[in-house]
Amino acid sequence: MKSSIQRNVGPFALMLTGLGSIIGSGWLFGAWKAAKIAGPAAVCAWVIGAVVILAIALTYAELGAMFPESGGMVRYARYSHGALVGFISAWANWIAIVSVIPIEAEASIQYMSTWPYEWAHELFVNGSLTTNGLLLSAVLVVIYFMLNYWGVKVFARANTAITVFKFIIPGLTILGLLLTGFHSENFGTAGNFAPYGWSAVFTAVATSGIVFSFNGFQSPINLAGEARNPAKSVPFAVIGSILLALVIYVLLQIAYIGAVNPTDVAQGWSHFNFKSPFAELALALNLNWLAILLYVDAFVSPSGTGTTYMATTTRMIYAMERNNTMPKMFGNVHPFYGVPRNAMWFNLLVSFIFLFFFRGWSSLAAVISVATVISYLTGPISLMALKRAATDVERPLSVPGMKVIAPFAFVCASMVLYWAKWPLTGEIILLMIVALPVYFYFQGKSGWAGWGRDLKAAWWLVAYLPTMAILSLVGSHQFGGMGLLPYGWDMLVVAVVSLIFYFWGVNTGYRTEYLDERETHDEILEGIGA
């Protein structure tokens, strides 16, 4: 028998869940990676990234208030465009989120590798984790699993305490570096503020972990089904967590740029190769107390995020089962603890697979960032399609100016996908379609019901993905392309093409029968939980 997900999370706890997801390993490595790609102009990359994510997040905040259900982000596209778009969107979203669990564990062990012990140095060698490093990472993933296994209340209490700690350590890092070893000359003159050009700033947004670092805004949306008042709590949590995180990230980036040795800067920002960036800078400035705190936080911050994502990905699998694209056993909720435990075991296994194939923070960060952007694409289109075609659905939240925000968000997501550079753009797009046989299997089991209408509503997305891959291939040399589109004009072409796909997608949406299924299913759950 299925039991209902429990609604007992308040607005501040929900915001802390979002902030707890956002402030993870990204702050420990993001400033170093962004500066390595873009130099001092990396500060601008964080602001651009926040604007992009905020626009996308506002569309999802409306959807989260409309459909306050666990794992909701893997269901919205199904409501507006049917099973095929819904499956591709859900798959992209789940891949982008579940892969964060192992990267957080790897980040902790990578920081550990600079401890002053020989055995620690052997955990991370030549840019990748050794066998011992991977085993320790696996232990951390199991801890994330156990913290969620006994229900959302245990998880929420642990996460609130961890998030408070997350605020303190970045704050002390910012103050310690700014007050001890700040070199304003590292920011350069107007001529070398962006030493690798502005194209590098855009690439930093896509691949240095900036998009990845803001990704936690999804957690309050995926936990909307457990919020006491979703219409108010979800937008408050989403917007608040992004803006607070932006302040922290920009200050950390400024502190990092000012703290590195000016002599080393003269050799170029791309030459900095840190295993544990802020800890190594603290040691270089004789801030041993700060280095110790950073080594502790290298476990606390990623562990808080890993724990949160173990919760949200579990609810995604639960929602995908409700989409009839996962086995029925993943929809079983524990009658006492209120968590889908079979889905948790599945995500634990997948996390171990990611650990095996990607053995370091940098190797996963770029992949996750681009996969994340693809997973965001359907949100703005689903929202506006439902506003057009499903006028009977209650809308507890209506963000002003959404007719402008939604297309802007879709264009932004398309831009970030393009900025990621060929061939990474093409590789991730390919990853998004490899799971289609799973969809066809479950579609076949259902007798191909509604297949024709779902395909008609999916053509925009089916055409969009290869079109973006082709634009990336023939784009400017600055973004890894063949140079057939000159720099500057290439981004204009991407913007215009993405707008065409946006309006195509909005106009092919319809009031799917899955909206009625949702209402029936929710009535059943409420009856069981009563």
pLDDT above 50: residue 461:
yes
Residues 387-421 have pLDDT tens digits of: 988 888 888 777 788 999 999 999 999 998 888 87
For residue 116, say if its preceding peptide bond is cis, omega within 30 degrees of 0.
Answer: no
List the Cα angle 392/395/399 in 5-degree steps. 135
pLDDT of residue 15: 83
Size of the chain in residues? 530
Output the six-digit token pair for 498. Answer: 């993405």
pLDDT above 90: residue 149:
no
**Choice among 157-161, 270-274, 332-336, 354-358 with the minimum mean pLDDT:** 332-336
Q: Who has greater pLDDT, 157 or 84?
A: 84
pLDDT of residue 29: 87
Share of the chain above pLDDT 70, in %: 84
Residues 99-143 have pLDDT tens digits of: 888 888 888 888 888 888 888 888 888 778 888 888 998 898 888
Output the six-digit token pair for 478. Answer: 């600055």
Place of tokens 């929202």: 383
Residues 55-106 have pLDDT tens digits of: 999 898 888 878 877 656 677 888 988 888 888 888 887 888 788 888 888 8
Q: How many CA atoms lie within 13 Å of 322's alpha carbon, on the beta-carbon side?
A: 32
pLDDT of residue 518: 67
**Choice among 61-65, 82-86, 313-317, 377-381 with the minimum mean pLDDT:** 313-317
Residues 482-500 have pLDDT tens digits of: 989 998 899 999 999 999 9
pLDDT of residue 95: 81
3-state SS string for 314-344? HHHHHHHHHCCCCCHHHHCCCCCCCCCHHHH
Rounded-to-integer distance, Cα 61 and Cα 18, Å:
12
Average pLDDT in the chain: 81
The residue among 30, 55, 89 whose CA lies nearest residue 402 is 55
Question: What phi, psi does 475 have (nearest 5°)?
Answer: -70, -175
Residues 243-286 have pLDDT tens digits of: 999 999 999 999 999 999 888 888 888 888 888 889 989 998 99
| CB-count exposure of residue 179 (10 Å: 0-12, 13-18, 19+) | exposed
Output the six-digit token pair for 200. Answer: 């590098």
| CB-count exposure of residue 165 (10 Å: 0-12, 13-18, 19+) | middle
Average pLDDT over residues 304-312: 73
Q: Which residues of 463-478 are buried (b: 16+ CB within 10 A; e: fewer)?
A: ebbebbbebbeebbeb
pLDDT of residue 130: 86
Q: How far does Cα 411 stand from its chain's mean position?
A: 18
Residue ranges and CATH numbers for the domains of the chain are 11-529 (1.20.1740.10)
Output the six-digit token pair for 358. Answer: 């990607």
Q: Full-prediction pTM beyond 0.85?
A: no
Rounded-to-integer distance, Cα 355 and Cα 129, Å:
10
